[in-house]
Chain A
Amino acid sequence: MNKENRKISLPNIIWQWEIILLFIFIMVVIINSNLSPYFLDYTNLMNTTFNFIEKAIIALPMMFVIICGDIDISVASIIALSSVFMGMASQAGVNTFGLVAIGLFAGSAAGFLNGFVITKFGIPAIAVTLGSMSLFRGIAYVILGDKAFTKYPIPFAYFGQGYIGNTMIPFELVLFLMLAIIFGIILHRTTIGRKVFAIGNNSTAARFSGIPVNRVRLIIFTVTGLCSGLASILLTSRIGSTRPNIASGWELEIITTVVLGGVAITGGKGNIFGVVISIFIIGFLKFGMGLINIPGKVMTIIIGLLLILAIMLPQLIERLKPKNSFGKVKK
């Protein structure tokens, strides 16, 4: 099938996952605004982003990880670890700038450790990050025990609670959008991005064509750690307190977002727009359900159903797709 043909023919555009996601997003907005008068409110919509932007910031590098055919389930534990280190530093009187540096460094170091073990010893990412997930959170529990760090400098609160100037736009949101553009350009417009797709499609072939597969994977895991450190700064700043159970369960929510965004869990396929739309679908869906006071347990069920649907739909679409002469009818 030649490229030009594929772009122009309407059925293919409609069947693209991003378009379907966009449609789901519009449906979520319409249904929510029908159910509650408070949904379509500028201030409310801006403020609700606080609740999912930290996860969204990790979803960006997680997309790279999954496209490479890997996975990282230690991200929430990295948040806890970074937060604990920032808390310790803050008790010792370190200023805001120092805390940010410590948070980013702790995250990167944890991510590098993951990447190093995975690439150096050739152990599957799921096994390594399963271990480091317990390891990092374990360290947080050992250091904090049953205590909490609650003393942070006042300027530190800006990162997770601040707005841009006098607008109602959260600083976190702007930071995320900038990162999304950067990650999008890297993935879709640079050779690095093409290498990532090549690794995900066939890492052996990628290696034979001269791509430093392990180095790319090491960098991606380190960046994932870095972004987890950044998310940790934002979350710690937002709630102004560090407990060892901070951000528990987030790794699954982040992976859910990425998979719903159309990134193939088997690797090699994904699009930044899909992931960004998916972030807002889940965020706004949860907000809308909160507005009509649906209990959290029911929300979990609905998000779970959405994910199963997201994994099944591409398969169904593949079957329903109008077949052309070179149509891919596989599996």
Chain B
Amino acid sequence: MKKQKFILAIVLIVILLSSVVSFAGAQEKIRIAMLVKNLGNAFFEACRDGGLEASKELGGIEFIFQGPTTPTAEGQIEIIDSLIAQKVNAIVISANDVDALVPVCKRAMQSGITVISFDSGIAPEGRILHLAPSSSEFIGRSQVKMLANLIDYKGEIAILSASSQATNQNTWIEWMKEELKEPAYKDMSLVAVVYGDDLSDKSYREATGLFKSYPNLRGIISPTTVGIAATGKALEDAGKSGKIELTGLGLPSEMKQYIKNGTCRQMSLWNPIDLGYSSTYIAYKLIKGEFQGKEGEVMKVGRMGEIKIGSGNEAVMGEPYIFEKDNIDKFAEIY
């Protein structure tokens, strides 16, 4: 018995040692991790494709794509911890909570990792720069304009957002409220803002709840890809297509049928592939020291052209694009 145990112990030690030795001296590629709000979200999968495109173009990059199963800050913190442990070179994050990720991202930066946020930002202390897909003011205002056109500037409207903590959605909603103060919208009133947490089933239930609570509802703005698709489905199921107008930010491939049948006549979005491409590109150039990430700097971001870093180290990628019956087919194939 004793002898057997002795042999077992020796075997274990050998395996342990071999594992330590076998990894010495590997790793020369630059490793960039993209951390998104949650997995299984088509928008972020398109971002990933953009990241992969940039990695291929720049060369010598190992691209890691990660996200928690549910869109929580704790889930993202746990992943950032393991990315710090892996000593990746850069982390590119779309955050679930603007403040909660700051401590762990500070720690990442202290250990020499380049941290930038894209899409949904982290507070300035927790990142080098933030790449916003479009200017928040423009997005917020344009959503209201689109919906107003669809409902002839009259009636009750509601907003169906992502999680109540989502940085980007909350800023856009603020700008929507600003736009609604203009005299042109005096006959329109915002009756509710509800949160579907970027989960299809919850968004669907929240949308159905809106139809019931506000029988005079004329329009819904859903500034999130999960929310707008779920609302489209809810409108069809409830037979409200055409009675309640829907607009917002949606993925062409997911929204194609609703745009074609008139449930959602107009919506807009920037290109998530471009967003993933740009943020990965910028992260790489920051690691290489070719970009400084300072306010006022103009970055040459590959095929995207020039992107300027504005105040608060926020950079804006471009303006959202409007999708309608005429152009949806083309884009539905891309993303």
Interface Cβ pair total, 8 Å cutoff: 105
Determine whether A202 belongs to the interface, using a CB cutoff of 8 Å to chain B.
no
Interface string of A275-287 (1 = CB under 8 A from B): 0000000000011
Determine whether A243 belongs to the interface, using a CB cutoff of 8 Å to chain B.
yes
Is there contact, CB below 8 Å, between A48 and B16? no
For the complex formed, measure the closest distance between the CB of A107 and the CB atoms of chain B, giving whole angstroms: 19
Is there contact, CB below 8 Å, between B100 and A47? no
Bound together, the chains give a CA A37 to CA B23 distance in angstroms of 6
Max count, chain B CB within 10 A of own CB: residue among A26, A30, A239, A247: A239
B-side contacts of A273, CB under 8 Å: none
For the complex formed, measure the closest distance between the CB of B291 and the CB atoms of chain A, giving whole angstroms: 26
Within 8 A of A (CB), among B67-81: 67-70, 72-75, 77-79, 81
Interface string of A18-32 (1 = CB under 8 A from B): 000000001000100
Determine whether B82 belongs to the interface, using a CB cutoff of 8 Å to chain A.
yes
For the complex formed, measure the closest distance between the CB of A190 and the CB atoms of chain B, giving whole angstroms: 34
Bound together, the chains give a CA A40 to CA B85 distance in angstroms of 10
Is there contact, CB below 8 Å, between A241 and B97? yes
Stretch from A173-181, A204-212, A289-297 at the B interface: A289-297
- 7 shortest interchain CB distances as A-B pairs: A146-B164, A37-B23, A290-B82, A44-B85, A296-B69, A241-B100, A239-B100
A-side contacts of B238, CB under 8 Å: none
Determine whether B260 belongs to the interface, using a CB cutoff of 8 Å to chain A.
no
Bound together, the chains give a CA A157 to CA B103 distance in angstroms of 9
Bound together, the chains give a CA A294 to CA B158 distance in angstroms of 39
**Among B19, B39, B68, B85, which residue has its beta carbon within 8 angstroms of that of A48?**
B85
Interface string of B1-39 (1 = CB under 8 A from A): 100000000001001101110111011000000000001
Is there contact, CB below 8 Å, between A150 and B99? yes
Q: A295-B39, A295-B66 are in contact. Are A38 and B73 (CB under 8 A)?
A: no
**Closest chain B residue to A149, Cβ basis:** B99
Is there contact, CB below 8 Å, between A239 and B77? yes
Which B residues are within 8 Å of any A CB, using their own CB? 1, 12, 15-16, 18-20, 22-24, 26-27, 39-40, 64, 66-70, 72-75, 77-79, 81-82, 84-87, 97, 99-100, 102-103, 164-165, 195
Bound together, the chains give a CA A121 to CA B36 distance in angstroms of 48
Determine whether A41 belongs to the interface, using a CB cutoff of 8 Å to chain B.
yes
B-side contacts of A297, CB under 8 Å: 39-40, 69
Is there contact, CB below 8 Å, between A243 and B19? no
Is there contact, CB below 8 Å, between B97 and A243? yes
Within 8 A of B (CB), among A213-246: 235, 238-241, 243, 245-246
**Among B12, B19, B82, which residue has its beta carbon within 8 angstroms of that of A34?**
B19
Q: What is the size, in residues, of chain A's interface with B at 8 Å between Cβ atoms?
A: 43
For the complex formed, measure the closest distance between the CB of A38 and the CB atoms of chain B, giving whole angstroms: 5
**Closest chain B residue to A151, Cβ basis:** B99
A-side contacts of B1, CB under 8 Å: 10
Determine whether A148 belongs to the interface, using a CB cutoff of 8 Å to chain B.
yes
Is there contact, CB below 8 Å, between B103 and A33? no
B-side contacts of A16, CB under 8 Å: none
Determine whether A248 belongs to the interface, using a CB cutoff of 8 Å to chain B.
yes
Bound together, the chains give a CA A47 to CA B67 distance in angstroms of 19
Is there contact, CB below 8 Å, between A296 and B75? yes
Q: Please, could you name 18 A-B residue pairs with CB atoms under 8 Å apart, sorted by A?
A: A10-B1, A37-B23, A48-B82, A145-B164, A148-B99, A150-B100, A240-B99, A240-B103, A241-B99, A243-B73, A243-B165, A286-B78, A290-B79, A290-B81, A290-B82, A295-B39, A296-B39, A296-B68
**Among B64, B73, B78, which residue has its beta carbon within 8 angstroms of that of A241?**
B73
Bound together, the chains give a CA A300 to CA B68 distance in angstroms of 11
Is there contact, CB below 8 Å, between B97 and A148? yes
**Closest chain A residue to B23, Cβ basis:** A37
Q: A37-B23, A48-B82, A51-B77 are in contact. Are A240 and B100 (CB under 8 A)?
A: yes
Is there contact, CB below 8 Å, between B86 and A47? no
